[in-house]
């Protein structure tokens, strides 16, 4: 990044020396991320010209280059006030080879397929669509970027932290002389989110400036780094167990695992941790763990709040589909609001890559006989149905193998319905479920395991499923009732429709609906007596919340053999969301949220589906599946669900919190931490620490909270870090949510995510947690 700062012109010899230094910096960083001498990395460091593509008429040549930190991409710009621009590799979600974005698909020729690639950013930042001069160059760009992204993601939190601090130091070294003046040190401290008075900064500086030269260099900078990153709380914890020559022996470590971490550990487990995390070879040979090795352990998956066993698929996936909560999206095609926002295949890709397993397709007649997807009766843009199905086919199973439900809101004419059916059959092929599994009429849902890699269509069907097993299935088209979300749009003054209006349905489309036939809900008793297991209803949030309040047990029993889909009210034109927890509490499976809106509700949804390999399916608790269950979340009396717990939380410290307002040089956060409990009404609670002035780098609270939990299997825990503001609403710094049942006891690091759910690389909380049986 240092090359972006204005600096006095250098002499020829100074320029040579500067480039030599930058070469060494690049070499060090390449080595640090495990790409020493890699030819693709060297290619990116040299850089090259790429064609940046925005439309048929806007195609401009721009020079791109990876900077010496091996983490920042610099590119030239013709914008008046932004001649040079850059972005971090951390901001990249993925790099796609070929014409795999809407922009490249529209604005480039198929012959250029192998020269094209796209950089997809996290959040709402616009894709970067690029074309290289040759196929080989495009491959090198994509290979090189993917190597850096993967290697950076695979670093431990401790390594990411070191990398970040060292590169912040380099940025503070304005004249790139590998020395740090007092002024540069103050600038560096502000960069890493610490505000300190001049006296404190001078004291640190004097303590480290052993040579009294007025600058820090070499070992003095290392000493400053050690002082800066020293963690007093780790000293105390380590000191309590390091009883063998000042270090932790395998026995000492086993004591720590059993007594503090409450793990069912053995001596073999302790030895494995030493082998895995200890960096001092002498200590490793003695089967000892040093303080550095202990810190490495705490910063890895083994020391994370999320139980490592829950990071993979660990639940029984052979139960009927309706026994699972299913990660579900509403208005999946929208990137923003529901009135004017753009519709895009990119929105489907983003949702599917987050393991969403039920996506919505709002289908309308389009021009040239081709059906389109958009939010009806609004100014949202349109996207071809065919293009959406292609994108879904391409990305459905990249993060999860389990089935994807395509929820159709069908407003099309019979002719365009036939084309919809044709596109799905032609594009999805054998992956599309077009008839029940097996040779007999099914009596219950197949399991996620049986449906791996399959697409299920949810929509209207003319007749019962039994017709698929007889020859008496000759109707070409028929009318069905059209109760759906479009009928609910009276709330926001849009065009109204009768809820009992009829529509014609094409046989070709009807026949594709197998396990998810949409029917009108006429009450739980009616459903019990008249609906087959595969006949499911969709509930607007107000209706669903009312039923959950007044008929919770009946709602839960309804969901024991049928599916229920809940969707946000039409009045939520800003694409906001309802709280999904009360819907899960009564066993609803398809609790559909606006994935494009990154607020608290989506954080809870992300937390709910975080365990079980982030596969998009979570097995409901046994008491939500057992027909004899009398569970009512509103009044959880004694029963198998009432395994009461006491949840003890100590918020100890945080590390390397990001700045909220990066544009303001002196903007330092005043962090506080809130712990939220979301579950049955009796369990909902929230407690927060005091705030700490001007320290986002290493704030320490040491505050303890206690929560009584009545129904642990339905409890979500959310950690929220905010920047305190006395005059306005606090800003979110980071958050993390997970089920209580997936929490690892003991001293744990909590990763922090952005508002949009992306990992903040080096930031985290350090906590002590204990979930104990209530007395």
Catalytic residue IDs: 330, 375
Write out the DSSP string of 721-741: EEE--SSSPPEEEEEEEEEGG
* DSSP conformation class of 648: E
DSSP state of 304: B
Q: Which of 536, 374, 356 is nearest to 459 (CA)?
A: 536
Nearest to 168 by CA among 92, 296, 69, 23: 69
Which of 481, 525, 485 has the alpha carbon at shortest distance from 503?
Answer: 481
- Per the CB < 8 A criterion, the answer to whether 243 and 259 are in contact is no
For 36-127, where are the E strands, in sequence order?
Answer: 48-53, 59-66, 72-79, 82-88, 92-97, 116-121
| Residue 529 marked as a ligand binder | no
DSSP per-residue letters across 380-432:
---EEHHHHHHHHHHHTTSS--S-EEEEEEE---HHHHHHHHHHHHHHHGGGB
Kindly report the number of other CB atoms within 10 A of residue 93's CB atom. Answer: 17
Antiparallel, parallel or unpaired: β 455-459 and 324-329:
unpaired
CA distance 670 to 693: 5
12: annotated binding-site residue?
A: no
Q: What is the DSSP letter of 339?
A: S
Q: Which residues contact 389 (CB under 8 A, 6 or more apart)?
A: 423, 424, 427, 428
Beta strands 477-481 and 535-540, pairing class: unpaired
**Cα 259 from Cα 237, distance rounded (Å):** 12
484 labelled as ligand-binding?
no
105 appears as a binding residue in the annotation = no
Q: Is 255 annotated as a binding residue?
A: no
Q: Kindly tell me the number of DSSP H helices and DSSP E strands found in the chain.
A: 22, 32
Cα-flanking dihedrals φ and ψ of residue 714, to 5°?
A: -110, 10
- 502: burial class by Cβ within 10 Å (0-12, 13-18, 19+)? exposed
Ramachandran class of 737: left when φ > 0, alpha when ψ lies in -120 to 50, beta otherwise: beta
Classified as helix, coil or strand, 524 is helix
Listed residue (129, 127, 94) closest to 112, CA to CA: 129
Dump the DSSP string for 259-299. HTS-----HHHHHHHHHHH---HHHHHTTEE-HHHHHHHHT
Spatial distance between the Cα atoms of 116 and 101, rounded to a whole number of angstroms: 10
* Dist. CA 565–CA 551, nearest whole Å: 17
Count of beta carbons in the 10 Å neighbourhood of residue 248:
29
CA 173 to chain centre: 35
Cα–Cα distance measured from residue 536 to residue 465, given in angstroms and rounded to the nearest whole number: 13
Residue 670 is labelled as binding a ligand: yes
3-state secondary structure of 56: coil
With beta carbons less than 8 A apart as the criterion, state whether 352 and 403 touch.
Answer: no
- Residues ≥6 apart with Cβ < 8 Å to 324: 448, 589, 617, 618, 619, 620
Which of left, alpha, beta for 757 (phi over 0: left; psi -120 to 50: alpha)? left
Phi and psi based region of residue 82 (left: phi greater than 0; alpha: psi -120 to 50; beta: remaining): beta
Which of 274, 30, 311, 298 is CA-nearest to residue 158? 298
- Asked whether residue 331 is marked as a ligand-binding residue, the answer is yes
- Answer yes or no: is 538 a known binding residue: yes
458 is in an annotated binding site: yes
Q: Is 742 annotated as a binding residue?
A: no
> Could you give the residue ranges of the DSSP H alpha helices within 86-194?
102-107, 135-153, 157-172, 182-191
Binding site, by residue number, is: 331, 360, 362, 409, 458, 460, 538, 565, 668, 670, 694, 723-725
Binding site for substrate, by residue number, is: 458, 460, 538, 565
């Amino acid at each position: 990044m240092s090359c972006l700062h204005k600096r006095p012109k250098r002499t020829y010899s100074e320029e040579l020396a500067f480039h030599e230094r930058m070469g060494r910096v690049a070499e060090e960083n390449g080595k640090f991320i495990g790409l020493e001498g890699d030819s693709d990395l060297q290619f990116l460091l040299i850089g090259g010209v790429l064609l940046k593509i925005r439309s048929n008429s806007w195609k401009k040549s721009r020079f791109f280059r990876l900077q010496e930190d091996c983490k920042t991409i610099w590119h030239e710009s013709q914008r008046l006030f932004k001649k040079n621009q850059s972005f971090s590799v951390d901001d990249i979600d993925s790099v796609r080879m070929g014409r795999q974005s809407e922009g490249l698909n529209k604005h480039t020729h198929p012959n250029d397929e192998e020269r094209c690639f796209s950089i997809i950013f996290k959040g709402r930042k616009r894709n970067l669509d690029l074309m290289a001069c040759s196929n080989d160059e495009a491959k090198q760009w994509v290979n090189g970027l993917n190597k850096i992204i993967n290697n950076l993601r695979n670093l431990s939190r401790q390594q990411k932290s070191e990398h970040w601090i060292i590169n912040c130091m380099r940025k503070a070294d304005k004249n790139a002389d590998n020395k740090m003046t007092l002024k540069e040190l103050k600038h560096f401290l502000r960069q890493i989110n610490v505000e300190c008075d001049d006296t404190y900064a001078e004291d640190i500086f004097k303590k480290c400036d052993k040579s009294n030269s007025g600058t820090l260099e070499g070992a003095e900078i290392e000493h400053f780094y050690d002082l800066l990153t020293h963690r007093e709380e780790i000293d105390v914890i380590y000191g309590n167990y390091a009883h063998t020559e000042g270090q932790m022996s395998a026995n000492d470590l086993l004591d720590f695992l059993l007594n503090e971490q409450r793990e069912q550990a053995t001596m073999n487990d302790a030895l494995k941790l030493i082998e895995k995390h200890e960096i001092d070879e002498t200590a490793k040979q003695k089967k000892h763990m040093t303080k550095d090795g202990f810190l490495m352990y705490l910063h890895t998956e083994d020391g994370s709040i999320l139980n490592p066993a829950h990071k993979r698929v660990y639940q029984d996936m052979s139960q009927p589909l309706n026994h699972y909560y299913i990660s579900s999206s509403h208005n999946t095609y929208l990137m923003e609001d529901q009135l004017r926002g753009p519709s895009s295949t990119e929105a489907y890709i983003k949702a599917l890559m987050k393991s969403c397993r039920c996506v919505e397709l709002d289908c309308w007649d389009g021009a040239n006989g081709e059906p389109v997807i958009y939010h009806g009766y609004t100014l949202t843009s349109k996207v071809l149905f065919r293009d959406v199905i292609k994108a879904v086919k391409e990305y459905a199973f990249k993060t999860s193998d389990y089935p994807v439900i395509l929820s159709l809101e069908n407003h099309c004419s019979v002719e365009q319905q036939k084309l919809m059916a044709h596109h799905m059959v032609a594009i999805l092929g054998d992956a599309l479920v077009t008839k029940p599994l097996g040779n007999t009429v099914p009596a219950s849902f197949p399991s996620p395991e049986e449906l791996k890699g399959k697409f299920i269509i949810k929509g209207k069907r003319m007749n019962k499923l039994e017709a698929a097993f007889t020859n008496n299935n000759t109707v070409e088209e028929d009318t069905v009732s059209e109760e759906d979300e479009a009928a609910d749009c009276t709330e926001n003054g849009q065009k109204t429709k009768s809820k009992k209006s009829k529509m014609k349905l094409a046989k070709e489309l009807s026949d594709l609906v197998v396990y998810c036939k949409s029917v009108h809900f006429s009450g739980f008793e009616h459903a019990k007596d008249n609906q087959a297991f595969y006949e499911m209803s969709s509930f607007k949030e107000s209706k669903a919340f009312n039923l959950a309040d007044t008929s919770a047990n009946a709602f839960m029993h309804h969901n024991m053999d049928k599916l229920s889909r809940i969707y946000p009210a039409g009045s939520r034109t800003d694409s906001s969301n309802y709280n999904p927890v009360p819907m899960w509490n009564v066993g609803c499976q398809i609790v559909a949220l606006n994935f494009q809106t990154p607020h608290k509700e989506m954080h809870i949804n992300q937390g709910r589906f975080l365990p079980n390999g982030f596969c998009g399916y979570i097995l409901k608790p046994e008491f939500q599946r057992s027909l004899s269950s009398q569970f009512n979340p509103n009044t959880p009396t004694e029963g198998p669900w009432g395994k009461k717990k006491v949840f003890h939380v100590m918020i100890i410290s945080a590390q390397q919190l990001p700045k909220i307002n990066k544009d303001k040089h002196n903007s330092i956060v005043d962090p506080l931490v809130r712990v939220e409990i979301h579950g049955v009404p009796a369990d909902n609670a929230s407690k927060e620490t005091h705030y700490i002035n001007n320290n986002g780098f290493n704030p320490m609270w040491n505050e303890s909270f206690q929560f009584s939990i009545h129904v642990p299997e339905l409890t979500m825990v959310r950690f929220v870090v905010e920047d305190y503001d006395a005059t306005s609403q606090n800003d979110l710094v980071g958050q993390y949510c997970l089920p209580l049942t997936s929490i690892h006891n003991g001293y744990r690091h909590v990763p922090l995510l952005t508002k949009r759910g992306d990992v903040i690389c080096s930031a985290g909380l350090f906590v002590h947690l204990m979930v104990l049986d209530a007395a």
